[in-house]
């Protein structure tokens, strides 16, 4: 749908921060609209569209007392009401002598991409693409999944002079193919619908599903694995969740505690967060209006840098990295544009270099077991295969892993040159395929 535009977004922001009776005020405006065409059993069963506008107001009154209020009422009066609520809450707060103030004005690099066709895509267009993919499935293969297109407009303004806006589009397709006794999966995300390889993804999922038929049992244990990008993305995403933020580090609850500057995994691994990268769904600034910067989190195996929101940066006397979340942001800085950098191998070569191990398409329902050891658990899903003598020889029933992420990344043998972008909502992750010498599977399931 058409953009609301900067005038409309700044109009709401200005109505909020112009409230008066405060030391400082900030307004973050998020306009999101989009449609999702969801399918299962080869039919479209849930197709939706929604439009939302959220205004989040942070105000400061004497003594560093902060209040935050949000509204979805997209009117000037709604904005002023939110600001008044925030002001009332701030007045009731105890003083915060450590409140660092709000950021000041900054220049922003170009980031993110707006594609008019994606913003204007219709239910009919999405349904047509889905129907075409389903129409190409081999006999005996059904599909479930979703095709989503959407747009996000962001504007931020504060009484210190911060003023910025951007608009991005995104398209995301996921497909699970079911061949009876086997399933396969593929997904991708792009700023533009036209760049989403919907047909190729459908074909890939179908091939995996057919190849996954009649899986054999495999005993749990420690195996070499080749992780496809969607599986690697789980490791990257959870490592990002577990503690690159300065606040977590300061509180001693980050796995990086005492390890900053040290080798924490294989030198083949470099992990960054970069909202300005051309190959992500990017953003020029964070939710406090601080410019985004590329931060090397792990640099050739060394834990290199932390992420700093405005508060942590002021506390430490460093430049903020542009990773603040929407106020009140008590968790501190968080990475939303993670990438594990490409290597120089290929998925076929990683498989060929494995004597006996597993090829994993993706992981499912992963959760943290031990945050300080970066140990997580989850299941394989939708395409898990046995490799013998460098060849995929057949499918195996799904296995549960219980594995330290850094332990796995310490055993990396190879990194593919190809990477894929995945993710939903605000966060995206770009990942390569990995060959890992030792990966612990703690139990198995029945399918």
* 160 in contact with another protein (CB under 8 A): no
Start-to-end CA span in the chain (Å)? 43
Q: By CB under 8 A, name the one of 41, 217, 355, 389 that touches another protein.
A: 41
Q: For residue 205, give the nearest of 183, 173, 228 by alpha carbon.
A: 183
Q: At what angle do helices 198-211 and 123-135 cross, to 10 degrees?
A: 40
Say whether residue 89 binds another protein (CB under 8 A): yes
CA distance 14 to 79: 9
**Side-chain-side CA neighbours of residue 210 (13 Å):** 10
* Distance of closest approach, residue 374 Cβ to another protein, in angstroms: 12
Question: Which residue among 2, 20, 94, 317 contacts another protein (CB under 8 A)?
Answer: 94
Output the smallest distance, CB 72 to another protein, in A: 4
Binding to another protein by residue 368, rule CB under 8 A? yes
In angstroms, how far is CA 159 from the centroid of its own chain?
A: 31
Of 158-166, 206-214, 253-261, 346-354, the window that binds another protein (rule: CB under 8 A) is 253-261
Residue 269 or 327: the one with the smaller Cβ distance to another protein is 327
Distance set, CA 247 to CA 66, 159, 252, 361, 378 (Å): 19, 26, 9, 34, 27
* CA–CA dist 80, 48 (Å, integer): 31
Q: Does 211 bind another protein (CB under 8 A)?
A: no
Which C-beta is closer to another protein: that of 131 or that of 352?
A: 131
Residue found by looking up tokens 């005993």 in the block = 219
> Is 199 one of the binding residues for another protein (CB under 8 A)?
no
Element (H, E) at 185: strand 183-190
Q: CB of 168 within 8 A of CB of 133?
A: no
- Show the tokens assigned to 50: 């929604």
Choose one: 251-259, 341-349, 387-395, 428-436; the region binding another protein (CB under 8 A).
251-259
Q: Is 447 in the site for another protein (CB under 8 A)?
A: yes
CB nearer to another protein: pick between 134 and 236: 134
Establish if 66 lies at the interface with another protein (CB under 8 A).
Answer: yes
Going by their DSSP bridges, the two strands 24-40 and 43-61 should be labelled as antiparallel
For position 281 contacting another protein by CB under 8 A, the verdict is no
Which among 20-28, 232-240, 245-253, 260-268 is the span making contact with another protein, rule CB under 8 A? 245-253
Q: Is 148 in the site for another protein (CB under 8 A)?
A: yes
The residue (of 205 and 415) whose beta carbon lies closer to another protein is 205
Under a CB-based contact definition with an 8 Å cutoff, are residues 236 and 431 in contact? Answer: yes
x/- site string to another protein, residues 326 to 345, per CB under 8 A?
Answer: -xx-x---------------
Number of residues that bind another protein (CB under 8 A): 90
Q: How many helices and strands (H and E) does the chain possess?
A: 10, 17
CB of 445 to another protein, least distance (A): 4
Q: Which of 17, 176, 226, 265 binds another protein (CB under 8 A)?
A: 176
User: Would strands 142-158 and 295-299 be described as parallel, antiparallel, or unpaired?
Assistant: unpaired
Q: Does 371 bind another protein (CB under 8 A)?
A: yes
- The answer to whether residue 144 forms part of the interface with another protein (CB under 8 A) is yes
Q: Is 123 helix (H, G, I), strand (E, B) or coil?
A: helix
> Of the two residues 73 and 349, which places its CB atom closer to another protein in the complex?
73
152 in contact with another protein (CB under 8 A): no
Q: Please tell me whether residue 7 binds another protein under the rule CB under 8 A.
A: no
Residue 287: strand, helix, or coil: coil
């Amino acid at each position: 749908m058409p953009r609301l535009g900067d005038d409309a977004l700044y109009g709401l922001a200005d109505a909020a921060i112009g409230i008066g009776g405060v030391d400082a005020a900030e307004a973050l405006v998020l306009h999101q609209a989009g449609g999702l065409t969801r399918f299962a059993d080869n039919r479209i069963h849930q197709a939706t569209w929604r439009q939302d506008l959220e205004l989040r107001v942070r105000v400061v009154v004497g003594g560093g007392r902060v209040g935050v209020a949000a509204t979805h009422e997209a009117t000037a009066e709604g904005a002023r009401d939110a600001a008044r609520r925030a002001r009332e809450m701030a007045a009731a707060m105890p003083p915060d002598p450590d409140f660092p103030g709000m950021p000041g004005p900054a220049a922003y690099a170009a980031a993110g991409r707006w594609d008019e066709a994606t913003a204007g895509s219709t239910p009919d267009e999405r349904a047509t693409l889905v129907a075409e993919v389903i129409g190409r499935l081999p006999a005996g293969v059904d599909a479930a999944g979703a095709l989503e297109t959407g747009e996000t407009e962001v504007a931020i303004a504060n009484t210190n002079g911060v003023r910025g806006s951007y608009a991005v589009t995104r398209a995301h397709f996921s497909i699970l193919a079911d061949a009876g006794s086997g399933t396969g999966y593929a997904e991708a995300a792009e700023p533009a619908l036209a760049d989403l390889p919907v047909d190729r993804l459908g074909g890939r999922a179908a091939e995996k599903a057919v190849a996954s038929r009649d899986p054999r049992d495999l005993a749990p244990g420690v195996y070499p694995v080749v992780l496809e990008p969607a599986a690697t993305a789980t490791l990257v995403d959870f490592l990002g969740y577990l503690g690159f933020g300065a606040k977590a580090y300061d509180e001693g609850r980050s796995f990086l505690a005492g390890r900053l500057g040290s080798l924490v995994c294989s030198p083949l691994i470099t992990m960054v967060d970069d909202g300005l990268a051309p190959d992500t769904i990017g953003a020029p600034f964070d939710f406090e209006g601080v410019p985004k910067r590329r931060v090397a989190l792990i640099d050739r195996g060394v834990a290199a840098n932390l992420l700093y929101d405005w508060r942590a940066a002021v506390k430490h006397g460093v430049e903020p990295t542009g990773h603040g979340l929407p106020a009140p942001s008590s968790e501190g800085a968080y990475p939303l544009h993670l990438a594990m950098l490409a290597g120089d191998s290929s998925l076929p070569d990683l498989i060929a270099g494995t004597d006996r191990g597993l090829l994993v398409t993706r992981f499912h329902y992963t959760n943290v077991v031990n945050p300080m050891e970066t140990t997580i658990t989850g299941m394989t899903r939708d395409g898990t295969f046995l490799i013998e003598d460098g060849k995929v020889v057949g499918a195996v029933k799904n296995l549960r892993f219980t594995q330290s992420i850094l332990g796995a990344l310490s055993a990396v043998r190879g990194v593919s040159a190809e990477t894929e972008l995945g993710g939903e909502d605000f966060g995206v992750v770009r990942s390569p395929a990995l060959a890992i010498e030792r990966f612990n599977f703690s139990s198995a399931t029945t399918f």
